[in-house]
Amino acid sequence: MPAELVVEVAARVRETARIMATSQHTDELIHWAEESKVQGPVSPDLPPWRVLIVDDDQDVHQATEFALKHQLIQGRALHFLNAHSAAEAQHLLRQEPDIAVVLLDVVMESEHAGLELVRTIREELGLEAVRIVLRTGQPGYAPEMEAIRDYDINDYKTKTELTRNRLYSVLTTAIRSYRQIQALNSQRAGLSQLAESSNRLLQQDTLEAFFQQTVTEAASLFASPLQAALCARASPPVNGEPPRLLAATPGLLAATDGSFSTLPGNVREPLQACLSQRSHQQKTDTLALYVRGPESAPLGLLVQAEQALTRDQLNLLHLFAAQVATCFENLTLLKRLRRSAFTDPLLDIPNRSSLIVSINEKARQDGLEGWVLALLDIDQFAVVNHVLGYRTGDQLLHAVARRLQQQFPAPALVARLGSDTFGLLGPKEHISLPTLQRCFRNAFNVNEQAHRLSASFGLVRLDGVAGQGEEALRSAHIALKRVQERDRGQGLYYHETMASEIRSRVSLVEELRKAMADNRLCLTYQPQLSLISGRPIGVEALIRWPGEHGDPIPPSVFIPLAEKAGLIIELGEWVLREACHAQRELAAAGHGDLRMGVNVSVKQFEHPDFIAMLDRVLSDTGIDPAHLELEITESVAALDPERLTQLLTNLKARGLSLAIDDFGTGFSSLSYLHRLPIDRLKVDRSFIQQLGQDGDRGEIARVVISLGKTLQLVLIAEGVERANQAEFLRELGCDEVQGFYFARPMKRAHLQHWLQEHPLGVSH
């Protein structure tokens, strides 16, 4: 059969000679000269298409090569490889790269050798791009429909139908398909490489590292290495200064002194044009890419190849430039976000997060032994802001930060943790309580005015802290809070007992929440008597907490906890409601003239819903407000005078009576108290308990009672436990008494029995 193809080719040669001589006929199948004219010029820079002929007949090899000799397909010549068996073809395919088309005979060393080679090419060798044209001289061995259906081939032809032009057409179609697949694979690989490159670019922590990585990625985009350089120009240029060379591959960098002006001309000039014209500059083997940076900071990226850049390579480089621009913008954004996350915006110093990271890094690198963390909180800084204004307050914070940085330079770190709280990290030789206090000995000058500030300090030795940053900060904060509770302006080092006390306090708060939810709190009532008649004239409601294990927890312990934990509002309403129910029950039992005294904390008074809550309780319980007395402490004097006066006036308008509890222990002025609508003063038990002991003649009690009389208020003494105390108070003109000498606090049912048994009071 191959001989037939040779005969056909020879016949066509003779026919061509006849046609060329006579020029009378045109036949597309054999008009070779005209076909060669439309091929276009050969591109010297592009390699030929590699075609593998697999056939056990040498004549087929010669005839195929002769038929396609000097033919061009898409501007590229053809280069033929030859194999005379499936085994030889398989060996060639393993060794030779970039074979575009395989012209494959079906029947060779066996009747299905060609078909088996197809499976080997696709499945074993994994050559998906190479196009396979199956040729057979014995169609019965491989029917066309079944071969195309069952085997991954691209065309099926019998040798008799493969005339020269049809062979050319089949090969052109196969090569075009091969090129498209190669382009798709190249694009897919390029996009995958760009994705990996983008990830590596975004992993860089600094701009310097990002620029160097950009050059590295650009130089490794293709199989053959590239030279690359990256430069930047200020926008607009400053004083005609040349662009700055940011990074370059070693080959280019070796030819410079690190400056843009010393780059080779074939690199410098395209980059200069790229930046000045704000556009890509392309030459045969060089491409200068314009990369628009964030905030109008343009970059120029040059890549230089050993040979001409293909269209696919140029497209990939353009995509890479866009990727660099996006990554550059993202990195700049991340840098701003990182600065925002770790820098205080007002003072431009490290913030809390930065301090924690610094502690953790120090612990990981060198250990924390011998290092100290200190927190300082400016005392009464809210008052400074209120009196001087926030602008002056901010300037004072700047002054404090500058002084701390001057006093504690590197390796110490100064950070701002809150509005007026600073953190300091450094060696214990530098950071100590005396060195911290020394920072506040001199006034801070702002706007030519001297401002004296004091601060409280909490310190922790980091080698004694089990955790790292968060734990160290928590420990220092515990010490700081302890100072603020006891003695502002001083400092304490953290100790483990402080943490255990905090844990106990937190545990007690949780127990209190549970006790309130389970209704395990209760009220007791202590009678109040007239010193003149001895008759009961009222009772005071006192809250009690039996404790989960039967041990009573004193109000002096859990009431402050309730105030700090935000439970006092709910607890106060419960106490008021229970006391009003008790008063109504007493009234129903014939004791309606007794007043009910209920303690109200400053936190309750400050709450905007206090009056509304009181009205709800009065309405729900239905008691006469004249039989209710609210007891407040002198600390309410710290409230805004205008608001306090209005609040107390509203209470009096409802018919309530008001009493100042623990009178004599506060800091309120008498003139201020005199202006308030108060009915009664309760003399603190600390003054009463001293009466008759160690020669005490009651001078303090005498003065306190005299002051109350001067204010024309009713006086009631608390904590009367002995007869001589009661007698002395009677002589001083005290009006009413309350204490163990007369009656202990008792539950509601016991109170009714006591009132029935002592209608005229207690006789001694």
Give Dmax over CA atoms of the chain in angstroms.
Answer: 158
Give residue 150's pLDDT. 62
C-beta of residue 276 within 8 angstroms of C-beta of residue 283: no
d(CA 320, CA 216): 12
Nearest-angstrom CA–CA distance, 24 and 230: 65
Query: Using omega within 30 degrees of 0 as the cis cutoff, is the peptide bond preceding 243 cis?
Result: no
CA dihedral 262, 265, 269, 275 (to 10 degrees): -30
What single-letter amino acid sits at 9? V
- Give the Cα separation of 557 and 562 in Å (integer): 9
At residue 665, the pLDDT reads 65
Domains of the chain, by residue range, sit at 2-186, 204-341, 345-494, 508-757
Distance, in Å, from the CA atom of 330 to the CA atom of 59, rounded to the nearest integer, reads: 64
Which pair of tokens denotes residue 390?
């926030």
692-704 tens-digit pLDDT: 666 556 787 888 8
The neighbour count for residue 266, using CB atoms within 10 Å, is 12
Three-state helix/strand/coil letters over 629-668: EEEEEHHHHHCCHHHHHHHHHHHHHCCCEEEEEEECCCCC
Higher pLDDT, 222 or 302: 302
What is the structure's pLDDT at 35? 38
Average pLDDT over residues 229-243: 74
Confidence of residue 502 (pLDDT cuts 50, 70, 90): confident
pLDDT of 504 above 80: yes
The per-residue pLDDT for 507 is 85
* Of 7-11, 83-87, 552-556, minimum mean pLDDT range: 7-11
User: Is the confidence at residue 321, as pLDDT, over 60?
Assistant: yes
Q: Examine residue 236 and say whether the peptide bond preceding it is cis (omega within 30 degrees of 0).
A: yes
At 764 the pLDDT is: 53
Cα–Cα dist 739/303, whole Å: 96
CB 246 within 8 A of CB 311: no
Q: Tell me which CATH code domain 204-341 carries.
A: 3.30.450.40
Residue 319's pLDDT is what? 87
| 171, amino acid identity | L
> Which of these ranges, 31-45, 285-299, 319-333, has the smallest mean pLDDT?
31-45
**Which pLDDT does position 456 carry in this prediction?**
95
CA 257 to CA 241: how far, in whole Å? 17
The Cα–Cα gap between 577 and 487 comes to: 37
Of 107-116, 138-147, 575-584, the least confident? 138-147
Closest of 412, 554, 434, 425 to residue 491, by C-alpha: 434
In percent, the amount of the chain with pLDDT more than 70 equals 87
Tokens of 452: 């004296």
Domain 508-757 has CATH 3.40.50.620: no
Structure tokens at 297: 């900071």
Q: Are strands 657-663 and 628-633 parallel, antiparallel or unpaired?
A: parallel
pLDDT for 657: 94
Positive or negative CA dihedral for 62, 66, 72, 74? negative
- pLDDT attached to residue 7: 42
pLDDT of 685 strictly over 50: yes
pLDDT reading at 270 higher than 80:
yes
Residue in the block written with tokens 């014939």: 590
Query: 393: which residues sit within 8 A by CB, 6+ positions away?
Result: 381, 384, 385
pTM for the structure as a whole:
0.51
Could you tell me if residue 636 is left (phi over 0), alpha (psi between -120 and 50 degrees) or otherwise beta? alpha
Residue 720 has pLDDT above 90, yes or no: yes
Is the pLDDT confidence value at 141 over 60? no
Q: Which residue is it, tokens 């913030």? A: 351
| CB-neighbour burial class of residue 146 (10 A; exposed 0-12, middle 13-18, buried 19+) | exposed
| Sheet containing 244-248: order of strands | 244-248, 227-232, 299-304, 286-291, 281-282
Q: Mean per-residue pLDDT for 399-426? A: 94
Q: How far is CA 350 from CA 65, 327, 344, 424, 426, in A?
A: 77, 26, 6, 10, 14
Query: Tens digit of pLDDT for each residue in 734-750?
Result: 999 999 999 999 999 99
Report the pLDDT averaged over residues 281-298: 81
Q: What is the pLDDT of residues 109-124, one digit of tens each?
A: 887 888 888 888 888 8
Q: How far is CA 42 from the centre of its chain?
A: 60
In the block, which residue shows the tokens 């493969």? Answer: 162
In this structure, what DSSP letter does residue 125 have? S
pLDDT of residue 149: 61
| Residue 761: pLDDT band with limits 50, 70, 90 | low
Structural contact between residues 350 and 413, judged by C-beta atoms closer than 8 angstroms = yes
Q: Which CATH class is domain 345-494?
A: alpha beta
Label residue 240 by pLDDT band (50, 70, 90): low
Query: What pLDDT was estimated at residue 523?
Result: 96
Of 611, 623, 522, 632, nearest in space to 580 by CA: 623
Say yes or no to pLDDT of 220 above 80: yes
Cα end-to-end span (Å), the chain:
145
How many CA atoms does the CB half-sphere of 12 hold within 13 Å? Answer: 20
Per the CB < 8 A criterion, the answer to whether 673 and 660 are in contact is yes
Contact between 729 and 709 under an 8 Å Cβ cutoff? The reply is no
Q: What is the DSSP string of 477-521?
A: HHHHHHHHHH-TT-EEE--HHHHHHHHHHHHHHHHHHHHHHTT--
CA distance 337 to 357: 16
Supply 334's token pair: 């991340």
More confident residue, 631 or 329: 631
* Topology (CATH) of 2-186: Rossmann fold (3.40.50)
